[in-house]
A and B are shown apart, each in its own frame.
Chain A
Amino acid sequence: MHILLIEPDTILAQLYIEALERVGHKVSYVRTAEAAIHTADRRRPDVVVLEIQLAGHSGVAFLQEFRSYADWLDIPVILHTVVPPIPLQRFQYSLKEMGIVQQLYKPQTSLKQLVAAVNRCVSIQL
């Protein structure tokens, strides 16, 4: 399955890519919202793993753009972020509206949990 990983930190990204590729996923990695849209345009992702705190346009801007296209409406997005869950709670409704299937708090999410979340999305799609 094709995973679009949007992660500003290259070191963390390499670790996530390695973990996801070990279980057989193909990962496209980008650091910015703009690059993510271009990458998704070139090859449709099956799942998007998104950090909301990005340089330049934020993850929210990415989601608004991404969800504005009908053919990407059904692609599950996992929010994998350093923003703690409590401040995010205020935006629960909007996040659901944006098609966030799961929120993971990055400091407390192991690679195993991330891979499991991605696999869950993939199996739901299958």
Chain B
Amino acid sequence: MPLMYIARQAELAQKCANDPIQNFKFMQTHADMALQLVDSYLLSLDLKARQMSLELEPVPLSAVLYDVAHELTPLAKQRNTDIELVLAGKYGQVMAHPDGLRAALYGLGFVLSEVVHPKKFRNTLRIAAHRTRGGIVAGVYMDDIGELLRTNKFEQTTFVRQPFTNLTASSGAGIFIAETIFSAMQSRLRAGRFQKQQGLAATLQPSRQLELV
């Protein structure tokens, strides 16, 4: 998808160079996005093929979520989506692979930012973390998709490949990336719910190292 954006925008820009800087910005955003997705996709294929797991280390979750929100902002703007970072409390560090966690959450953000809502043209994407008994849940949630999901008999306990019908087919790569990376981090991608919103999330274990401090 991002490569198609670049190719078509470049074609359009050749015919009408009204605002070359904006054209370059558009292309840069999508070239960066394409590189990131291709990188994450290759990593996921590698992890899947070799049945590898990622080495976990204490990672500051808030910082990762902030980075992901920052990276997704240009894409979200172009998709008429607002990004909100919701960190309900202080989490310290979680056990994860820093680059893997960033890539997985970015993949989820890429997926959910293109949710097709039948009535609203502008959506809000929430990148959030909250504490549960099982650990710290980090995920990406979308405004108002709960009703749509309920109508499709979507339940919280099901796997993410259950009907998520307001996603387009092109979202598969982002979900594949997130699911593979979370599995390699001994976690699992699940449909999740947070503050009456629904989305995709994974539970991460807090770092014990921090508990001693």
A: residues with CB less than 8 A from B are 8-12, 15-16, 18-19, 22, 31-32, 34-35, 53-56, 82, 106-107, 110-112
Contact = CB atoms under 8 A, between A and B. Distances in A.
A11 B78 contact: yes
Given A8-B114, A31-B116, A15 B168 contact: no
Contacts of A32: 116, 118
Interface of B: 1, 3-5, 7-9, 11-12, 15-16, 30, 78-80, 114-116, 118, 165-170
Contacts of B118: 32, 34-35, 56
A15 B10 CA distance: 10
Given A9-B114, A82-B170, A111 B8 contact: yes
B15 to A, nearest CB: 7
Given A11-B79, A35-B118, A56 B4 contact: no
Contacts of B11: 110-112
A105 to B, nearest CB: 11
Contacts, number: 63
A53 B78 CA distance: 21
Nearest to A8: B168
Given A9-B1, A19-B12, A53 B169 contact: yes
A69 B12 CA distance: 36
Contacts of B80: 10
Given A9-B1, A10-B79, A55 B8 contact: no
Contacts of A22: 15-16
B145 to A, nearest CB: 11
A38 to B, nearest CB: 10
A12 B4 contact: yes
A19 to B, nearest CB: 6
A9 B116 CA distance: 9
A15 B8 CA distance: 7
